[in-house]
Amino acid sequence: MLSPSAETFRLFLHVVAASVWVGGQFALAGLVPTLRRVAPGAVRSVAQAFARVAWPAFGLTVITGMWGLMAEDVTTKSSSYQATLLLKIAIAILSGVFVVVHSVGRSKLAVALGGALGLLTAIGAMYLGILLNTRG
């Protein structure tokens, strides 16, 4: 059996937290239309309940991401790796920003765009993370 390490534990936490952040958004995107039809008053409560899980998961991805940056000397990596890493960080930050827009938005446009762009950027950040881990 392979031996676990701090690196594998960090990566495990990062992937689980990112999966909660991204997967939860997919789950809500599938559930909310039905919930609006069946129990419109429950949508806000369900969203708030998800936020209590999603935001700590997002925070854990940030913490484990910074841990990963401190654990590895990225200056020795190729310029394409470094560019991809910077893009991943920017897109991950945008994901959080868009979800905040979605959460506090007052117009249907802000809520819709914030939610859609929050999910798309979260997917993009996850993909870039996998790319970095398999090509780094």
Query: Is residue 136's pLDDT more than 90?
Result: no
Could you tell me if 119 and 29 are in contact, meaning their C-beta atoms sit under 8 angstroms apart?
yes
DSSP state of 3: P
CA dist 124 → 22, 88, 94 (Å) = 10, 8, 10
| pLDDT, tens digit (0-9, with 9 covering 90-100), for 13-62 | 999 999 999 999 999 999 999 999 999 999 999 999 999 999 999 999 99
Report the pLDDT value the prediction gives residue 135, as an integer from 0 to 100.
82
Whole-angstrom Cα distance, residue 87 to residue 74? 14
Whole-angstrom Cα distance, residue 112 to residue 8? 37
Give the pLDDT mean for 93-120: 97
**Token pair in block for residue 97:** 């920003």
Query: Is residue 91's pLDDT more than 90?
Result: yes
pTM of the model: 0.92
Whole-angstrom Cα distance, residue 112 to residue 101? 9
* Cα of 53 vs its chain's centroid, Å: 12
Token match 């991943």: residue? Answer: 88
Residues 6 or more apart whose Cβ sits within 8 Å of residue 16: 57
Average pLDDT value for the chain: 96
